[in-house]
Homo-oligomer: A and B are copies of this chain.
Amino acid sequence: MRTLTIKPKAITHNLNQVKKMAPQAKVLAMVKSNAYGHGVAAVLPALQQADGIGVATFIEALEARQLGWKKTIGLVEGAFTADEWQQAIEQDISCVIHHEPQLEWALDNIPPANSATRVVWLKYNTGMNRLGFNAESVMTAAKRLHEAGYQLILATHFANADNRTHPLNSKQIQRFTNVLKALRETISANIKGSLCNSAGIVNFSEHHHEWVRPGIILYGSSPVIDKSAHELDLQPAMNFSAQIIALQTVSANDAIGYGSRWVAQQDTKTALVSVGYGDGYPRVVNGDAYVSVIDSTNNRSYLCTVIGRVAMDMIVIDVSAVPEDVALLDSQVMLWGDAPHIDEVAVHADTISYELLCRVTMRPKRIQA
């Protein structure tokens, strides 16, 4: 059975790691894209010690409210329409305001004084060049919002925080710091700041400001290029496993799978595992990609390379080095989780763990550990 095991305790552990790294800041825990594929219903109870959650769409915000989340919800791209702004007020959601139309919606339709929607995350574009006001217009926007009674959090987003020495980081930090200082001096000393995603939390501890916005780090992946999840004491929150459904020995010179891409150099013991890209395992992995066959009796596991093309419903693995009483029909195979770590799988798939997590399909059975 293809199985996705979600570990809420790992998420709580990882949240605590964030709190240790950013002890002064409030935490907006990112649960967009169905909590990075983990399932928002499974994840919210593990985030009770967060100060708020962040989502990308109004539907995600609504889902969290329906699941009983009472604290802050930050809509990180803001309302998409004037109508969504009105709905945000009704659901007490705090919105990003990143361009003029959103500013006008907010000024035309001011929520009640006690509404969470009175708190807005004003987005300043410091170099990501996707969302946000420029330095001049952000000052004007802030002034107008403040005068209309909004409480402001100045927010920006790093483009390269994973790579601490990238030259854009210091520029983004400098621009943000300058504007925040100017806003506090000219508009209100109460304006808050939010600069750091997961990578920023790790790499720029002196710039955490009032709110940090951890995402991937909560799910147990490393957000930075020079430290592993293990080095950051993070726990993977998702185990993705399947089972061996056939065993065979292929002869030397036999090819396996679509495109006959892998050719046996010698007689090779292989196992067929009932999982594929139809479950969310990436179709394109390089020849070094591996999974682990679990020996549950002895609490051991054996790394096995994935050979041939990943298909929709199955992969073939080389079990030559696995004891015969371990590589059996029905034996459990871990695609990612405790081992291999998803960050390693991502490298073999030329992507990042974020994408693998989000794109697991609905076919695997979902359980919680």
Contact = CB atoms under 8 A, between A and B. Distances in A.
Interface of A: 1-2, 32-34, 36-37, 56-57, 59-60, 76-77, 80-81, 98-99, 101, 127-131, 159-160, 166, 168, 243, 245-246, 248, 250, 254-260, 272, 274, 277-280, 283-284, 308, 311-314, 316, 329-330, 350-352, 354-355, 358-359, 361-363, 365
Contact of A246 (B56, B131, B254): B131
Contact of A77 (B128, B274, B280, B355): B274
Contacts of A98: 246
A277 B313 contact: no
A257 B128 contact: yes
Contacts of A243: 80
Contacts of A34: 278, 361-363
A359 B259 contact: no
A277 B354 contact: yes
Nearest to A251: B129
Among A99, A159, A246, A316, max chain B CB count under 10 A is at A246
Contacts of A127: 255, 260
B312 A32 contact: yes
A363 B168 contact: no
A45 B127 CA distance: 50
A35 to B, nearest CB: 11
A219 to B, nearest CB: 12
Contact of A351 (B166, B168, B284, B311): B284
